[in-house]
Amino acid sequence: MSLDNFWRRHRTLRAALRNLSFTAGILILASVVLVALSAPWLFPGDPLDMVGMPALWPGEDPAFPLGTDSLGRDVAAGLAHGARVSLLVGVSAAGIGLLIGTAIGAAAGYSGGWVDDLLVRVTELFQTVPAFLLVIVLVSIREPSAPAIAVAIGVASWPTVARLVRAQFRSLRSADFVAAALVSGARPSRIILRHILPNALPPIVVTTSVMVANAILTEAGLSFLNLGDPNLVSWGSMIGDGRQLLRTAWYLTALPGAAIALTVMSINLAGDGLNDVLNPRSGSH
């Protein structure tokens, strides 16, 4: 049948294209990071300050290439400063989620028995609760601030990681090199950290990109609902503000949304490329 042939013929071509999209993802992500880092120099001053005529369309006034919002705030400045919040919250939330998920997944997968049963139950419980509702509850516990939001998103997003890590640990626990380490008298903490975890890393690394992407989307939703940090401009809050002028000045909603889409897309492209390199046998290709 021609299917096998088809695969063989196109493998190199596909690999090159894959590489192309991976490179594109990295390049876009790098420019977003660059804009985020240089925002204080590119757009000095508070992006929440009113600086011009309200509701200027992009291109209407050369001083504000991307226009101004209903209060006369510079949209370009908002986007640049918003990139800082989105990336920072996204990365730290993913970090917190990874930490919790890895710890719980490792404990469950390594211990087995009742510890495993209990932790699986807890994981299922957190997976059943609608994640976004949980984030909202957690954020409203304190005054909303960027760190609190990162913690909340991290706490609501760990179950995926925990399931993954648990599966990895369960299969690696019965591997020969783990048995050898056990026989040679290594302590469990050493076995977990030095022997199993490094081997379980590739899928965890790939999940990181998905976690960051989803954390950015969640943060956008939160600040869209006005539950974000009121002292910081973020892409989500810009969409929320722009929504009031949706009928007349839809660019106020479109631009920050496009920024989110572009950033998250670049992270996903990079993650897919990473997946192909780290997990060549996975089903995604």
Partner 1 sequence: MSLAYRTGRSLRRTLVQAVPTILGIVILCFLLLQLMPGDVADVLAGESGAATEETLAAIRSRAGLDDPILLQLGRYLWRVAQLDLGYSTRFGTPVSQLILERLPNTLVLMLAALGLALGLGIIAGSVMAIHAGRWPDRVLQVVVLFFYSTPGFWIGLMAIVLFSVKLGWLPSGGSMTIGIAPTGLDFLRDRLPYLVLPALAMASFFIAVYARLTRATMLEVLQQDYIRTAVAKGLSPLVIRMRHALRNALIPVTTVAGMHLGNLLGGAVVVETVFSWPGMGRLALEAVTGRDFNVLLGVLLLSSMLVILTNAAVDLLQAWIDPRTDLS
User: Which residues of the chain form contacts with partner 1 (CB under 8 A)?
Assistant: 1, 3-4, 6, 10, 13-14, 121-122, 124-125, 127-138, 140-142, 213, 217, 220-221, 224-225, 227, 236, 239, 243, 246-247, 250, 253-254, 257, 260-261, 264-265, 267-269, 283-285
Q: How far is the CB of 270 from partner 1 (least distance, A)?
A: 12
Least distance to partner 1, CB of residue 140, Å: 5
**Could you give the CA distance from residue 61 to residue 91 in angstroms, rounded to a whole number?**
35
What does the alpha-carbon distance between residue 213 and residue 271 come to, in Å, rounded to a whole number?
Answer: 10
Residue pointed to by tokens 């990295």: 26
Cβ-contact 230, 144 below 8 angstroms: yes
Nearer to partner 1, 38 or 226 (CB): 226
Nearer of residues 76 and 217 to partner 1, judged by Cβ:
217
Radius of gyration of the chain (CA): 23
Smallest separation (angstroms) from partner 1 to the CB of 143: 8
Residue 93 Cβ, how far from partner 1 at the closest point, in Å?
A: 15
Is the Cβ of residue 92 or residue 275 nearer to partner 1 in the bound state? 275
For partner 1, give the closer residue by CB, 183 or 281: 281
Residue 184: DSSP 8-state: T
Residue 150 CA to residue 89 CA, distance in Å, equals: 5
255 and 75 Cβ atoms separated by less than 8 Å: yes
Judged by beta carbon, residue 13 or residue 183, the one nearer partner 1 is: 13
The C-alpha atoms of residue 259 and residue 278 are separated, in whole angstroms, by 28
Q: Identify which of residues 128 and 184 has a Cβ nearer to partner 1 in the complex.
A: 128
- Lookup result for tokens 């539950």: 227
Q: How far is the CB of 49 from partner 1 (least distance, A)?
A: 25
**Closer CB to partner 1, 177 or 250, in the complex:** 250
Q: How far is the CB of 18 from partner 1 (least distance, A)?
A: 11
Question: At 211, is the secondary structure helix, strand, or coil?
Answer: helix
CA atoms within 13 Å, Cβ hemisphere of 146: 18
CB of 151 to partner 1, least distance (A): 13
Contact 219, 228 (CB under 8 A): yes
Distance CA 96, CA 77 (A): 29
